[in-house]
Structure 1
Amino acid sequence: MNKIKSDNDRSRKRINNRSIAFVAASVMLGLGLLASSPAHAVDSVGSVTQISGTAQIERGNATLPVQQGTPVLVQDKVMTQAGAAVTLGFVDGSSIGLSGSTSIAIRDRGTVNGQTIASRVTLISGDIHTVVPDKPGQPPAEVNTDNSKATGASPNQ
C-alpha cells in the first residue's frame, strides 16, 4: 500500500532540497573564489611602489613587466634596465631602491607584527639603496651598495 503524502509534506521536501542545493552552491562558489584568488595574496612580501623606465620580474618560468603595485613574491628576481629605477616597499615601512642595470632576488620571508616581509634579499648585480624604518630609541638604519662593497650605518654616524 502506497501512502499518499499531503501537499504540505511535498512542499517541505522541496524547500529542504532547495536549501541543500543553495548551501551546496554557496560552498562551491566560495571554494571557487578561494581557488581563483591570486597566489600573491598569500606569498607576497611587498610590492612595487615606484618605477621609472623598464623593469621585469622573473617569476618561475615567466618574465613579467613591472608596474606600480606589482606584488613581489619570495623567489622573484627583479631586474631593471639601464636608466630605470624601481622602489620595492614592504609592510614594515622598509624599502629597497634599485638603480639602472640592477638585479636582486628575494630569497626568503619572515614575519613582523604578523605581516610577511622579505627577510633575505640577494644583490646579483648593480646598485641598491635600502631604508629600514625607525625603531623606538634607535636612529633609522640604511644600507647602500655600489656592487663592490656593502656598508651599513645609521645616517647619524
Structure 2
Amino acid sequence: MRKSVSNRSIAFVAASVMLALGLFAISPVRAADSVGSVTQISGNAQIERGGATLAAQQGTPVLVQDKVTTQPGAAMTLGFVDGSSIGLSGSTSIAIRDRGTVNGQTIASQVTLISGDIHTVVPDKPGQPPVEVNTENSKATEASPNQ
C-alpha cells in the first residue's frame, strides 16, 4: 500500500513538472521578440498571432508575422523603438512582414496594408533604411526627403 502511494506521488510530481515546462514553452512574449507595441487605442482591435486572436490593448507587443485589425470606428497607433509609428483608422488590417536592426534595436522593416487606411510617421535619421509600405496590389517605398 505504501509503495503504491509513493509511486502515485512520483507520477504526480513528474506530471506537474511536465505541465509546468509545457506552460513555460507558451510563455508571454519577451521584449526581445517585439518590434513595437500598441501605444494608443480607441475602440476594438485584434492581433492575430500564431493562430490565436488577442484583444489589442495599450502596451500589447507587436511581433513579426502579426496581423493587426481595427474594427469599424476604432483607431490605433503602433509605436516602434526608432520613433516611427503607424496609425490605423477603423476597418484597417496590416501585417508585420519583416524586421530589421537599426543601431542595435529591432524594428519592423516591412508592413503590408491589407485593407483600410494608415498614416505613417517616420523620423528622418541618417543611415536608416527606407521604410516600405506594401498593399496587396502594389508596393510603395518611402525614401528620406534628403535622398
**Normalised TM-score (structure 2):** 0.69
Report whether the alignment pairs 1:90 with 2:55.
no
Structure 1 unaligned regions, length at least 5? 1-31
Task: Give the CA deviation at 1:61.
Answer: 1.0
Change (3 A) 1:143 1:83: farther
Change (3 A) 1:143 1:76: closer
Report whether the alignment pairs 1:79 with 2:79.
no
Distance 1:124 1:83 in 2: 17
Deviation digits for residues 73-103 of structure 1 (CA, Å, limit 9, x no counterpart): 0100000000100000000000000000000
Structure 2 unaligned regions, length at least 5? 1-20
Larger radius of gyration: 1
Superposition map of 1:1-157 within 5 A: 38-135=28-125, 152=142
Change (3 A) 1:142 1:84: farther
Task: Give the CA deviation at 1:43.
Answer: 1.4
Distance 1:105 1:144 in 2: 10
Distance 1:39 1:142 in 2: 25
Q: How many pairs does the alignment contain?
A: 121
Asked if the contact 1:130/1:143 (under 8 Å) is kept, the reply is: no
Task: Give the CA deviation at 1:40.
Answer: 3.4
Change (3 A) 1:43 1:144: closer
* Matched residue type, 1:41: A
* Matched residue type, 1:131: V
**Normalised TM-score (structure 1):** 0.65
Asked if the contact 1:128/1:144 (under 8 Å) is kept, the reply is: no
Deviation digits for residues 39-89 of structure 1 (CA, Å, limit 9, x no counterpart): 332210000000011000000110000000000001000000001000000
